A and B are shown apart, each in its own frame.
Chain A
Amino acid sequence: MQSTRSQPQSFIGYLLIAPPLIVMLVLIFLPAGQAVVRTFFIEGEVGTTPTLANYQIFFGNRVSVNNLLFTIQTTLITVSALFVVCFPIALYLRFSTSRIAGAVQVLSLFPLVVPGVILAFALIRFIGPRGTLQTLLDLIGLTGYVSPYLKPSGIVIGLIWDHIPFTVLVLTAGLRQVDDALVESARDVGANDWQVFRSILLPQIQRPALIVFCLNIIGIFGAFTIPYLLGPAQPQMLGVMMLQTYTDFLDKTQAETQAVLSFLICAVVGILYVRTIARKAGDR
């Protein structure tokens, strides 16, 4: 009886989930897989043979190697800075219920409603030369402002701005999973702030922190709009370089090679991310 009832149900289930699965396979996994195959293999008269030629071109060029290193460096700096900025905010939001905390929360989620192109445009008018920030600093007597616009630091500032909501949101959600009673009882037996942080909060925050870490790295490594509009002409981040290679130089193979390199580098943290979320599903 049970099996006759669940058989059609699972059939209908698979039928209903098939469309998005197919879209995901065809639009995400297939192009990505094809790019890997196309850049690592060459079609000759004798058939398809593996080759590293495309990657030798990339790594033989000083400009592209510089761009790759610059992308890695910018990603690491931005991700670390995001933690330094957002972790204290998340801790504060976890423990404070004041109206100030409410306002801080609204402000830190605000960038969610500002799309990347508009953010870049706004930041140029704000931090750019003769922008509002410089005017404000002039007013309080601080002259000699050097604008980060079109410099590597401009990219970092824009990307931090863009990723604050996600980082604060996930870290706060992680900290809220810690039971109040647990913190109270630790305080009752004489634990100080540092001990509460180390023994109760830190173990609980590891998973969300890992997820934020992975997704921020992937998001920033694959960024385009902010580095394109706020960054220098040279060095470029990989996303900007890809567009230039694809549309200006019309070199689709090299653009794909750069894309696959970004996949491979991000795969390291991507696998870590997938394992982290899969582990929780197992716990349930």
Chain B
Amino acid sequence: MKTLRREAFGIVTLVVLGIVILGPMATVTLWAFAERWRYPSLVPTVWGLSYWSETFGRADILSALPVSLALSLTVTALAAIICLPAAYAFARLKFRGRQFLLLSFLATNAFPRFGLYVSIAVVFFRLNLVGTFAGVVLIQLVNTLLTMIWIPTSAFGNVDRALEEAALDVGASPFRVFVQITLPMVFPALAAALLLTFISTFYEAQGALLIGVPNIRTMPVIMYTLTNNAVVVQYGAVISLALWLPSLLLLSLAQRFLRGNTVAQGFGV
């Protein structure tokens, strides 16, 4: 009886969430394949693909894609160089204040995002970093620190020390142990952290909007314009779908390596 009541709740929740969560994305998907869609039709009145070539023929979109990719790659690489050695230190080395310093990265959660970006923008304006590639890289780096430290720290911490010691005992050099034993064990989590960082940077819009204009325009920044002055709905719909589907795929891959708990721990739970 109790199970029945519980699962009845589950079914109602499933239906409501299905409509509310999937409805908007389904609508965008349909718009991307519509030549014409007039109210009150539930599906496009005329189907077609012509807006795909038209969208990707637009000069602003063609120039934004390489900018977005270059930015995300640079930020991810920089974040890895800065954070991965630190994650190793946090997980494996003993030093005073380790726990406190690790927690201090969580304190960055305590800043309201846009206010922080505005105060960074004022500093960057004086340093002539506004409208530059470097300026956008730096503001996007802000968001990557937590992911790049927290997930790898927990991965390095979970490595079975006995295996490493056994290898050392039979005469392997510490470097060889690191490359052949430690690295393969943490690789999935490191890959997931890199992927998450890349994706979230690729979609980062607010910092890029504030610092990048007018010279650096990323794909998400163009989405602001396409949403606000949408005479043709299809442009925005095609870009949304093209940007969103790869992330869905990549994230479902990454999800295998990330347990919900690791993510929750990143907020201090």
Contacts and interface: CB of A to CB of B under 8 A. Distances in A.
A78 interface: no
Interface in B67-85: 81-83, 85
Interface stretch (A19-27, A51-59, A178-186): A19-27
Interface residues of B, number: 96
Given A35-B122, A101-B10, A133-B23, A242 B115 contact: yes
A119 B18 CA distance: 15
A27 B141 contact: yes
B243 A17 contact: no
B58 interface: no
Interface stretch (A42-50, A62-70, A92-100): A92-100
Contacts of A100: 7, 10-11, 14
Contact of A215 (B20, B109, B141, B145): B109
Contact of A277 (B42, B103, B116): B103
Contacts of A79: none
Interface in B223-252: 223-224, 226-228, 230, 233, 236-237, 240, 243-244, 247-248, 251
A34 to B, nearest CB: 7
Given A161-B21, A173-B264, A224 B10 contact: no
B24 interface: yes
B53 interface: no
B42 A139 contact: yes
Given A259-B115, A274-B107, A121 B42 contact: no
Interface string A250-272: 00100110111011001101110
Contact of A125 (B31, B82, B106, B148): B31
Given A24-B105, A218-B111, A95 B145 contact: no
A61 interface: no
B101 A9 contact: no
Interface in A115-165: 115-127, 130-136, 138-139, 161, 164
Contact of B98 (A13, A120, A161): A13
A100 B243 CA distance: 29
A232 interface: no
A135 B19 CA distance: 13
Interface string B101-145: 101111111111111101111110100000000000011011001
B93 A16 contact: yes
A271 to B, nearest CB: 8
B149 interface: yes
A86 to B, nearest CB: 11
Given A115-B243, A274-B106, 14 more contacts: A12-B89, A19-B82, A21-B86, A23-B141, A31-B123, A32-B119, A89-B13, A98-B7, A100-B11, A125-B27, A136-B42, A219-B112, A225-B206, A276-B268
Interface of A: 6, 9-10, 12-14, 16-21, 23-24, 27-28, 30-32, 34-35, 38, 88-89, 92, 95-96, 98, 100-101, 103-104, 107-108, 110-127, 130-136, 138-139, 161, 164, 166, 169-170, 172-174, 207-208, 211, 214-215, 218-219, 221-225, 228-229, 238-239, 242-243, 246-247, 252, 255-256, 258-260, 262-263, 266-267, 269-271, 273-274, 276-278, 280-281, 284
30 contacts: A10-B94, A13-B94, A18-B86, A20-B149, A21-B101, A23-B141, A27-B120, A27-B138, A31-B116, A88-B13, A96-B6, A107-B21, A117-B223, A117-B227, A118-B244, A122-B27, A124-B230, A126-B23, A130-B39, A131-B27, A132-B26, A134-B39, A173-B261, A207-B269, A222-B114, A252-B122, A263-B115, A269-B110, A271-B110, A274-B103
